[in-house]
A and B are shown apart, each in its own frame.
Chain A
């Protein structure tokens, strides 16, 4: 196959490229330049491009840089800022996967005549021998599994995508890189959002004018008990960092964007029986039926919990946000947990699993309490 491998300059994508070369594919490397801003810490810095380029040269394959910075700003960074301004908690890595790696890059790779795009994500793509349908399973290395941030992949994307390191543990990936003498073998993992500079998220958001101080209110008594620097600085479920002195442990239980108010309360007020999930995607392309039992994961490394999916009756469908809802059915599902769970911050990804198999997912909706 003629494969384009997305190389971030890290060890996983380096080894992904090496494995494809070894398997006899015709492999071309590409590094995406995503951010034109000041950050040099993330996946788009000059030194990371250089690492990718050197690994590609060592593997005897050509390497290019695609500049997607404009799209990245419009489809990842701006929505990230807007989401915080609206009081929700975005996941920019998910947006990047959705719009950059598995849309713009796939599109370009197809135009260029590549048969597939490979990445260094820790996830397994499995072909059903009988039906030919494609499934996405958690990585062999459970601690490094990235299926959650790939919940949006459907059959069309998976048909063009390879994940060569998903069946290896991280330790095995590093060992492989060392054996090949790749310069990225012992490189530290990038943990942060790539476009956030040293000043951190609050500084980034403050520079973009979305931080406005407001009151912290006790949900039990209605009393103002403190102030916050901006609703974007707190996330539902957060315990630390609140400028209030309280006896009992207090959590952020709600954020009211219109009033710039943060509501705190004891843990029991945080627990909810269900969550509405919109912007749905399903790996198999077919929606889940009402009553389907799944395991639900709501954070990148969160513990999955059992739940049931329900599709609301048609009259409950909000057709104003999704014009296709009338034709294809509901624009959201209700996920009911077996046991009440801490409320999921609106904007967060909610992924559905059957054991190791990713079924799909969506985005937690803003719900009034």
Chain B
């Protein structure tokens, strides 16, 4: 249990604390400005005005037109709309049936792909290199003229590697001219100029809560001319692409967060990247066999992903939590338990190594003191686990072997009812 000291939060890739600017922007829309942006009266107009202002701010942050912004209920929903919506539109248009994703996409994309496969599409999963980057030769091989959707993430959520999206796009345009290119940029937005780096994609997904905004809000950029079918039907909000009363407070909060992100991104990347390097280098020097993941690939500034051989991440994370350090293994199932990460398995990690990996993800709220604390806590926890497993493997095994039957066994007198 955290013992009075402030908790060190190193799980920004899971979710970030709300930025104060976002909270402040949201509060009026959780209180007096409660209108439905689709209405015609004064209360509704206030909401509608705020919604459209937020759309403009969001479009500026993403380098697109306001009319190309579709607000969704989060990053997962944006990915679903992109992958399924583009595939369904292509089928209606008779353009083909091929869906291509990378093997280490977020499950929002992977599971959308498998659902499409059940519905009759051809799904191809493109392999990734041990350094956590798409294998371009494998991509080229997977693409054909009947490919209708290609989905490749800009930044991987677990290991933080950055994809060569321009090269990917060039291959897709050349080999699959009818394909729609989607890029899940949920983990990129805090660190990279998505407006520039994802400009080659037709569809771009982001999520508010990864950048200091609220949970339950996301965006899909739908470039003009991109054919898309809705996956949620209803009142026709968001240009018929995402029905449902819009989450005005959440969207306003996201826009406020995005404004701060874009303004401060260069400074944040420099500051947090420095903290991350100090954390990683400090851990490697304190734990010599710690291995940084994807060391040779371009990586965002906030992610420090490591494996500690012969240490179970499940145990390590528990010890860190008790010491007030929040980290994760990057992959959690519904019950909150750990399965080997599909990302690491796709990168060719053996299962045991995948279960000894932890992700420390820094973000806008991370301080120098946080890194100091982590550099104390993590080596201590790793040492405790290694000492503990050595000490016990001897004692209980010995005790057990004694418990077998012995002949005659004079040492057990007078036992049992006689």
Contacts and interface: CB of A to CB of B under 8 A. Distances in A.
A46 interface: yes
B405 A332 contact: yes
A62 B320 CA distance: 13
B412 A111 contact: no
Nearest to B415: A292
B336 interface: yes
A33 interface: yes
A324 B404 contact: yes
Contact of B335 (A49, A285, A294, A352): A49
A238 interface: no
A355 interface: yes
B384 A287 contact: no
A311 B406 CA distance: 8
Nearest to A102: B396
B321 A354 contact: no
B339 interface: yes
A33 B415 contact: no
A286 B406 contact: yes
B385 interface: yes
B392 interface: yes
Contacts of A329: 404-409
Interface of A is mostly: mixed
A65 B335 contact: yes
Given A106-B396, A111-B392, A287 B315 contact: no
Given A156-B396, A354-B417, A33 B335 contact: yes
A284 interface: yes
A359 interface: yes
A292 B402 CA distance: 19
B388 A156 contact: no
Q: Interface size for chain A: under 10, 10 to 19, 20 to 34, or 35 or more residues?
A: 35 or more
B404 A328 contact: yes
Contacts of A330: 405-407
Contacts of A324: 401, 404
A287 B336 contact: no
B411 interface: yes
B375 interface: no
A341 interface: no
Contacts of B384: 111-113
A149 interface: no
A293 B415 CA distance: 8
A46 B335 contact: yes
A64 interface: yes
B407 A314 contact: yes
Interface in A211-247: none
Interface string A258-300: 0000000000000000000000111011111110111100000
A332 B405 CA distance: 7
Contacts of A155: 399
Q: Interface size for chain B: under 10, 10 to 19, 20 to 34, or 35 or more residues?
A: 35 or more
B410 A289 contact: yes
B68 interface: no
B77 interface: no
Contact of B399 (A156, A294, A295): A156
Interface in A352-369: 352, 354-355, 359-360
Nearest to B334: A46
B325 to A, nearest CB: 13
Interface string B324-366: 0000000001111111000000000001000000000000000
Contacts of B31: none
A281 B403 contact: yes
Contacts of B335: 31, 33, 44, 46, 49, 65
Contact of B406 (A69, A287, A322, A354): A287
Given A285-B399, A293-B418, A111 B409 contact: no
Interface string B98-134: 0000000000000000000000000000000000000
Nearest to A45: B335
B399 to A, nearest CB: 3
Nearest to B385: A111
B403 A154 contact: yes
Q: 9 closest A-B pairs (Cβ-Cβ)?
A: A156-B399, A111-B388, A329-B407, A329-B406, A67-B337, A65-B337, A33-B337, A287-B406, A287-B409
9 contacts: A62-B322, A64-B336, A111-B389, A111-B392, A112-B319, A112-B384, A289-B409, A328-B401, A330-B405
Interface of A: 26, 28, 31, 33, 36, 44, 46, 49, 53, 62, 64-67, 69-70, 106-108, 110-113, 154-157, 280-282, 284-290, 292-295, 306, 309, 311, 314, 322, 324-325, 328-333, 352, 354-355, 359-360
